[in-house]
Structure 1
Amino acid sequence: MTTAKHTTPPKASTVAKDAIALLKADHEAVSELFTEFEKTRSVAKKKTLVAEICTALSVHAQIEEEIFYPAVKAALKDKLLVPEATIEHASLKELIAQLDGAEPDGEMYDAKVKVLSEYVKHHVKEEQSEMFPKAKSSSLDMAELGARMAERKADLLTHEAHA
């Protein structure tokens, strides 16, 4: 029975990440998916990668908007970074909606993925260079915030898997 308990530490370590570490890990994972997309010529592989990218970005945006952004906005009394990031999310969501379930049928599909990738890179750069350092130096409990975000992310991914 003790061996069954040893199968859970990977989840526990995910939960133990602070909020910024969790978000940065998401950023890196999506960046790798975009890189893989750029390298592949397989239509089936493109479709699979885009589905993964769309799910990852949708879940990531949701935990940021539900948990991270409100906490940062309150802690920093922010009136610029969070609203700007929220607007950027709206643009990302629009492209995700256009790609969701679409067939990788040529240049317009590839162009949408390329623009989505560029938007994400821009968004990530701003978060990591501006928002994250300010959030880190605030009074926010990043471990507690990270635990809430990891739990919500797991719930959303479970829901996505059953959808």
Structure 2
Amino acid sequence: MKADQVLIEHHNVLRSLCKKITATPAETAQRQQHVDELLVELDIHMRIEDDLFYPAVSAASTLVAVAHAEHRQVSDQLAVFLRTAPEAHEYEGEWQAFVTTLDAHAAEEERDLIPPPVDISESELEDLGNRMVDRMTQLRGSSAHRLRVRARGAALRRL
């Protein structure tokens, strides 16, 4: 699978999780499970972009710099959401702010970096995509990765 297809499909996974979370009542264990799943998938997504995709398209340095800045915005808004108690009146507003930030980043990336704005052959895109899928599979199968992401989420909630 080509790298740009991997990113689009994973953006859709993240969007689907956001819809699931939105449709689940705030103060339920099920919503927390969905949020935990989103944290893992979001971490995986940022890792495959930062470690594999962005270096491959780094010739478009200004666009990659913008994408890195957007990752910080997504992370910052996620932290605000996680620190907001589900029973707080601003909880749903913080959730929607996070979803909007995440969706804006994905849409901008799909517009500006897909297809990659640099000269990459189809075979290189295919190889990169395969490496991205392999990394995603490795991270999804790693209990240490899940534990690390959950611990980070729990720490943010306590701040």
TM-score, length basis structure 1: 0.76
Partner of residue 46, structure 1: 31
Equivalent residues in 2 for 1:17-36, closer than 5 Å: 17-36=1-20
Q: Which of the numbers 51, 55, 60 marks the counterpart of 1:70?
A: 55
The answer to whether the Cα contact below 8 Å between 1:99 and 1:112 also exists between their aligned partners in 2 is yes
- Comparing 111-120 with 84-93, which one deviates more in the overlay? 111-120
Identify unmatched segments of 5+ residues in structure 1: 1-16
What is the CA distance between 1:24 and its match in structure 2? 0.9
The answer to whether the Cα contact below 8 Å between 1:54 and 1:96 also exists between their aligned partners in 2 is no
In the aligned structure 1, how far is the partner of 2:137 from the partner of 2:83?
23
The answer to whether the Cα contact below 8 Å between 1:58 and 1:93 also exists between their aligned partners in 2 is no
The answer to whether the Cα contact below 8 Å between 2:26 and 2:87 also exists between their aligned partners in 1 is no
Question: What is the CA RMSD across the aligned residues, in angstroms?
Answer: 2.1
Bigger radius of gyration: 1
TM-score, length basis structure 2: 0.78
State the identity %.
Answer: 24
3-state DSSP of counterpart to 1:85: helix
The answer to whether the Cα contact below 8 Å between 2:54 and 2:64 also exists between their aligned partners in 1 is yes
In the aligned structure 2, how far is the partner of 1:109 from the partner of 1:42?
8
In the aligned structure 2, how far is the partner of 1:52 from the partner of 1:30?
10
Identify unmatched segments of 5+ residues in structure 2: 149-159
